[in-house]
């Protein structure tokens, strides 16, 4: 299928699913970017809060997309600059040699095989006066195996800060500038019509708006390796273009070999999925990651096509009804059958 036809058909399908979700009250609205090479198309359906129409430049809390938009590329940058060995234990870079987590490697963090405590709550550490890294790495390790957890990426974000000697938000901001992202940042953002609110956690109270939805990231001041980033459909498309370009041999903060290795199967993640470095990989070769708030980015390195969706699906509750259908529509648009259907 030619790029123009594919863009049009995929945009129509994503718009249809979003429209149904809005009309049935699953979410206030959402945006999407569909791209291939130098072409892209945007979809915007519904409103951000019942009053203001959403748009491609509306900022959404991307939740766990932070893992692949901030921590993953920063780790790749550190590897490219000779500052980080993916297979070296954390104790080589941090004074944690005597702690159970001191032997964990960055590769294990990226593949979610670190064996760190899977509990994401950080409240027990509040007020202890002990360094957060030490708190996390002092916990006994779990049994070997694959388990998706946030704590590894919390550690990875803190590791990047220690390696570079500056805050994660500044490190990520410099990286995004290099990749051509102009509206991506950690919060807080001003409460405005240009920012989509997330969840009202207390009945009758205002929703979280411009501040991170994730509780652990909130406890860390809104800047963490696993959550806290806000972006727009325009910037999500720019990010997809940048990483696909690096994969194909282009320049950037990471090396092509790092991106290619990240998009190869490393660990069986179950349900027909594999975990690469940071990313999930389907049997059709679609690379993707999701965010709890209702966000996703799907890439197909073989064709250079991508679909990114941004919603505040948690706005009406954590059931996030209809989100599975939206993500399936995005993923299926990148399968080989979709690429070839009009030839």
Which domain, by its residues, includes 263? 3-72+168-340
Per residue in 4-45, pLDDT (tens digit) is 999 999 999 999 999 999 999 999 999 999 999 999 999 999
- Of the given ranges (12-21, 185-194, 220-229, 318-327), which has the lowest mean pLDDT? 318-327
CATH classification at residue 39 = 3.40.710.10
Count of structural domains within the chain: 1
Establish if 52 belongs to a structural domain: yes
Q: Does the structure show a pLDDT above 70 at 343?
A: no
* Distance separating alpha carbons of residues 156 and 162, to the nearest angstrom: 10
pTM above threshold 0.85: yes
Contact in structure between 292 and 63 (CB atoms under 8 Å): yes
Establish if 157 belongs to a structural domain: no
Establish if 303 belongs to a structural domain: yes
Per residue in 242-271, pLDDT (tens digit) is 999 999 999 999 999 999 999 999 999 999
Establish if 196 belongs to a structural domain: yes
Establish if 253 belongs to a structural domain: yes
Contact in structure between 334 and 303 (CB atoms under 8 Å): yes
Establish if 276 belongs to a structural domain: yes
Establish if 161 belongs to a structural domain: no
Establish if 151 belongs to a structural domain: no
- Give the mean pLDDT of 175-202: 96
Higher pLDDT, 341 or 178: 178
């Amino acid at each position: 299928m030619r790029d123009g036809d594919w863009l049009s058909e995929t945009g129509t399908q994503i718009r249809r699913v979003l429209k149904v979700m809005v009309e049935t009250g699953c979410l206030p609205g959402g945006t999407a970017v569909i791209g291939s090479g130098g072409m892209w198309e945007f979809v915007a359906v519904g409103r951000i809060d019942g009053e203001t129409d959403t748009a491609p430049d509306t900022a959404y809390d991307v939740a766990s997309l932070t893992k692949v938009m901030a921590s993953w590329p920063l780790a790749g940058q550190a590897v490219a600059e000779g500052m980080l060995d993916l297979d070296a234990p954390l104790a080589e870079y941090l004074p944690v040699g005597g702690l159970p987590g001191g032997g964990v490697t960055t590769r294990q963090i990226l593949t979610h095989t670190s064996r760190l405590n899977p509990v994401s709550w950080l409240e027990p550490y509040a007020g202890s006066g002990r360094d957060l890294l030490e708190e996390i790495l002092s916990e006994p390790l779990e049994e070997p195996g694959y388990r998706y957890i946030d704590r590894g990426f919390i550690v990875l974000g803190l590791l990047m800060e220690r390696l570079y000697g500056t805050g994660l938000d500044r490190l990520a901001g410099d990286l995004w500038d290099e990749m051509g992202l102009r509206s991506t940042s950690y919060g807080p953002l001003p409460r405005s019509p240009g920012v989509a609110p997330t969840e009202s956690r207390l009945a009758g109270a205002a929703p979280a708006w411009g501040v991170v939805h994730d509780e652990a990231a909130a406890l860390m001041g809104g800047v963490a390796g696993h959550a806290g980033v806000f972006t727009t459909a325009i910037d999500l498309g720019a990010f997809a273009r940048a990483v696909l370009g690096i994969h194909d041999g282009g320049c950037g903060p990471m090396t092509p070999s790092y991106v290619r290795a990240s998009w190869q199967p490393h660990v069986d993640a179950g349900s027909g999925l594999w975990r690469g470095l940071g990313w999930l990989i389907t049997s059709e070769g679609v690379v993707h990651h999701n965010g709890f708030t209702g966000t996703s980015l799907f890439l197909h390195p073989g064709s250079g096509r991508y679909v990114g969706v941004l919603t505040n699906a948690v706005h009406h509750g954590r059931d996030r009804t209809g989100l599975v259908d939206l993500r399936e529509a995005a993923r299926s648009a990148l399968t080989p059958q979709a690429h070839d259907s009009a030839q």
